[in-house]
Structure formats: structure tokens, C-alpha cells
Structure 1
């Protein structure tokens, strides 16, 4: 029993070390001159965390992420969590209609971000699902088999007024972030797991848009991160003057505690059911 427990601890430590080493070796994300993104703003945006592993109230918690977004006239789902039943139940409790969705954005192909898609396919087949280029053919075919149209995104791309995606950043896993431009505020950046590094993602978004980042919400991928790494993240958030920070999903409790102390009122936490309403009423 002792040996099994020790082996489990060592495997977690090794995974954390490998994550840190991989992150340190990655160079800054380069922005080609043609990659500049012009994004027309919308007057308001609403985001609701539909699936997350941080529990709250009577909503079901599960390891994964799904965020509902209203921006301008668009309604979309960013990621779908790990399980159709969890997604289905939480959407109902939160008063969110799957039938009203206009499209879906998938950050990356891990099961805790795509597993809930059948719940949407049951009631709204034929939607376009935007995935980052580099997504495996098997995942793409599975999404198509549900009745969705799959569009691979190869770089910074505007989907509609106020909404864009970065396209793939590093990989595997190839991951993209969602960008929402709210008039008079700036950008909301929505991340799935931030495998490329949350600070690198934010720097990249700022560089391709030239706009201030008002808020960031999603997985920060900081479980097991060193204090030096956490300090880098906090310093980047401060330097970019991000006003609202919501680390959820794979951000980790230690990282959440550190950022809470380092960022003061800019730190907002987050859990399943967290709702952001930004911009004009």
C-alpha cells in the first residue's frame, strides 16, 4: 500500500516537472505581420460557466470545461465538458437553450472538452464546430458523425462581429483561445486549458489585436506549477492590466490561492455557474 501511494506521488511530481520543462523550452509565440486581427466590437457580452470541476450550488461539477457565450447577436458554446448528461442537466438548470446556439468553438480535442457534444447534437445537429488545425482526424470524424460541420482554423480568424479565435498555438495538443471584443472595455479571452502557457496566450492575443485585455476566464493549466512560474503569470496579468481574472478548471487550488493574493481585486475566482455580464445593459 505504501509503495503504491509513493508511486502515485512520484508520478504526479514527474508530470508536473515535465509540464514545467516543456513550458520553459517553448519560445515566445511569434506574430507574423499578416496575422494582425481587426475585430469589430459588440456592445455587450454574457458568459456562463456551464461545466467546471469547481462546484457551486445545485449544479453538477465534473472535470472539464464548457462556457456559454452571448456576444452581439451570436450565441455559442465554448467547449462541451466531458459528459453529455452533465452538460444537458446544467444547461437546463441555468436556463440555456441548446437549440438557440449558432455555433460551437472547441479549444482542443481532449475528452474533458469535447465529450459533451452529443448533448448538443441531439437537439441542434448541423451546427458548425470550429476546431484548431492539427486536431486528429479521428476526433474530426467523430464530431462529423454527430451531424456537425467541422471547420479547421489555421490562424487568427474572425467568426462574426465581436468574436474571433486565435487558431492553433503549439501542439500537440493543438489549442486555440476565444476572443470577444466588447466596446469601451477591451477583450475577453476564453481559454480551455492554456497548454501553450496562459501568459503566452495573453501576450499573443494582445499582439495580434493591439487591444487591451479586460478579462480572462478558463483553464490556466497551473496544477503543480512552481512559485517562479506563478509569479511570471501574475506579473504578465499585472503588466497587461487585466481587470478581471477567472482561473477555473485545470488552474489548480494552489495557483488560485497565489493569484488571489497577488492580484487583489482583479482576481475573481470562478466555478460552475459563474456568470459575467460585461458592457452596456
Structure 2
């Protein structure tokens, strides 16, 4: 069982939660709790976590996909609450700047296993989370379409399995960008995608029309179980 909870997004799915520009998702397996990105504001992040029943002190791993404020801005505030979490960052980020917040900052240069069947992948200074599941590979990515597809292709070569399920903060801003991503997604075997932050409503609509698999529009408050 894999459970994804979107705890930070500019799209709102629950009225009691605060939407804001940025992205963060809690990814839970039966025995692991991983936070992918931290949004822009730790106050909003921590409030949304509490309202969604997630104790930030129980998060074991934090992954920062890339060093943009809407994905990494909440990290410092979160580490004040949970300094024991292991934090995986692209090696291009400055570890020294975070060293006074945590002793567990781990720069990633390529492919790094963090737990059995759970790893992080660095491609062009962007991290993706990779889980090798029973039905195929799950990935959490957050980048421009071409970069995301390159990461998926690299992951399939490494894992020698199709990418089954994608959680994506795809930066889609035009029909041409959507066209660039739909065919590769299907070629890579992707059957389910969850889209949210950095993808406009019209672009989501077009993507849902063109993608033959299951496409879920997510926002803060979304919970997806697989």
C-alpha cells in the first residue's frame, strides 16, 4: 500500500487547508514516511500537516527536488521541529547553509538507495523519488516536462521496469509542452499520473483528454491510495 497526501499546493481540495504557491507531498509506505519537497512557507506547511493528521516529527526522510523557494522554502522551519529527519538534496545545493539546522544533510550526485527498493535519483541538479513496487515503479518528480521525461527514462534503464505511476508537479504552460510529454509517458508504460502545482487548469484539462491512462488532478488535501 502506498499513500500520497498533498500537504502543500496552490490548488485547494479541502476548505480547511491553506493553498499557497508551491508543492509538498507526504508519501507513506507501511513502514516509511517521506516528505517530497516542503513548499514555500513552513508555517503553512506545518499547519496543513497538522490538519491532515501528519506528525512532522514522524517524517523519516525529506527530499528536496530542486532549490527553488516554492519547493524548498519550508525546509528550515520543518527542521526546527524535526532535526532528526534525513534530508536529501541535489549536490548543487549548498550543504553548509543547512548544517546548523541538521546533521543529516545528504547531497546526492546520481542514484542513491535510502531504503530497500526506495531511492533518490539526481538528474541535472534535480532529485526524483523512486519506489520499486509490486505493480511497477512509482516516481515523484517536479520539473519542466523535458527534464521529467529524461529522469523517467534514466530510471527505467536503471530499474529495468516500466514506470507505472507518477506524482508530478509538471511545469506545463502550453499545448505544445503537453504534446511533448504525453507520448513519452505512454511509451514508458505510465498508467497513472497525479498532477498539481505549476500546471494550469486548461493544461490539466488537455492532459487529461490526451493521456490514455488514469489522470488525477491534485491539490492541498488530496489523498491518493494505491
TM-based fold match above 0.5: yes
Query: What is the Cα deviation at residue 178 of structure 1?
Result: 0.6
Query: What is the Cα deviation at residue 105 of structure 1?
Result: 0.9
Q: TM-score, normalised by structure 1?
A: 0.75
In terms of fraction of residues, the more helix-rich structure is: 1
Quote the residue 2:13 is aligned against.
Answer: 56
Quote the residue 2:79 is aligned against.
Answer: 121
Alignment of 1:201-212 (within 5 A): 201-212=151-162
Query: What is the Cα deviation at residue 253 of structure 1?
Result: 2.5
Alignment of 1:188-267 (within 5 A): 188-194=138-144, 197-223=147-173, 225=174, 227-267=175-215
- SS of the residue 1:147 aligns to: coil
Tell me if the contact between 2:146 and 2:180 (Cα under 8 Å) persists in the aligned partners: no
Counterpart Cα distance in 2 of 1:194 and 1:153:
20
- Aligned residue pair count: 225
- Check 1:254–1:204 CA distance in 2 against 1; reply closer, same or farther (3 A cut): farther
Counterpart Cα distance in 1 of 2:144 and 2:43:
25
- SS of the residue 2:217 aligns to: coil
Q: Looking at CA atoms only, which structure, 1 or 2, has the larger radius of gyration?
A: 1
In terms of fraction of residues, the more strand-rich structure is: 2
Cα-Cα RMSD: 1.7
Whether 2:29 is the aligned partner of 1:74: answer: no
Alignment of 1:128-207 (within 5 A): 128-135=86-93, 137=94, 140-167=95-122, 169-170=123-124, 174-183=125-134, 185-194=135-144, 197-207=147-157
Counterpart Cα distance in 2 of 1:264 and 1:87:
33
Query: Unaligned stretches of 5+ in structure 1?
Result: 1-43
Tell me if the contact between 1:165 and 1:176 (Cα under 8 Å) persists in the aligned partners: yes
